[in-house]
Structure 1
Amino acid sequence: MAASADVDIRNWIRDIPDFPKPGVLFKDITPLLGSPEAFRASVDLLEAEFRDRGIDVIAAAEARGFIFGAPLAIKMNAGFVPIRKPGKLPYATIAQEYALEYGHDRLEVHSDALGPGRRVLLIDDVLATGGTMGACRDLVKSTGAELVACAFVIELSFLGGRAKLEPCEVFSLAIY
């Protein structure tokens, strides 16, 4: 697995101009996901950053956070907890509402998935404005669990999401 250190994941992230609307330069991770070497490298690099931090649970917001969170949980011998949109989880849930540009949204987690004594790493594919991860952070903290850090494959630093997550530690594999 030493080859992972030699893979620059930026080489596997494609720019898509004017998506989803004019003026936006979208960072597309599908080439990274399509390369076993690059995908493995991204999970290996995340694991290397957090392997000695006593992580019990990897939690991720749907849907792209699941792509990285589940294999990372297996690699770190940690549990995986999905954070979902309303109505997607079959058991009793707790929820966190958050503001969107035009309105509000809500995220939910099973009421018994986290709690005091659990050390949690939150993960998502992209840190943009920080709204979704901020809601995830607040949801994790509301359970009494300890949030160790928020981790991302890509960070769009010009959108200021990192500042919205303070004082939480933020780690990103590629910063634009």
Structure 2
Amino acid sequence: MGSVESPADFAQAGDGAWTDGPLILGVPWEFEERLVRVAAGLAAIMGAHLICAFVDPASYLTEWEPDGFLDGTSLDPVRNLEAEFPASELLSGLEGVLGPPGGAWSFRVLNGEVAQALGRLAESTDAAALIVGGQRPGRIARMGRLLEGSVSVSLTRLQARPVLIIPHLGP
């Protein structure tokens, strides 16, 4: 008869490779509830804070400021309540799924190119991992990826930390 192997000891498997930092969820304007629920469930299992981050498409990041200073600036220099609409609507949608922000989760609005903005947030918070949705099917989504690139692909190229991609299930 074959010998019975003892279970593997994974106690030291992640030493130095995984932080106790938060999980960062890149939230698109039109998000699937499933994406948010999977991220929140993983954060709960890990006992980690979930940061839901939205990169505002109506803004850019002025990278040419002095070292160590990042200034997010709107494309429209006059305060425009319509420009704040996407973030407030998104926050409202997230609250409908997760409840009010607090100890378990928070919401951030970022500026700049999506993958780089999420990477900067991950670096500044010492995030354990980044979570994003998978590529959406369809011609319009494909055209967007051709023009702007895929956030998930860019993150896996830019990041040293784990990137979890949740598949898109909708039509």
Could you state the TM-score of these two structures normalised by the residue count of structure 2? Answer: 0.35
Could you state the TM-score of these two structures normalised by the residue count of structure 1? Answer: 0.34
Higher relative contact order (CA 8 A, sep 6+): 2
Asked which structure has the greater CA Rg, the reply is: 2
The structure with more strand, counted as a fraction of residues = 1
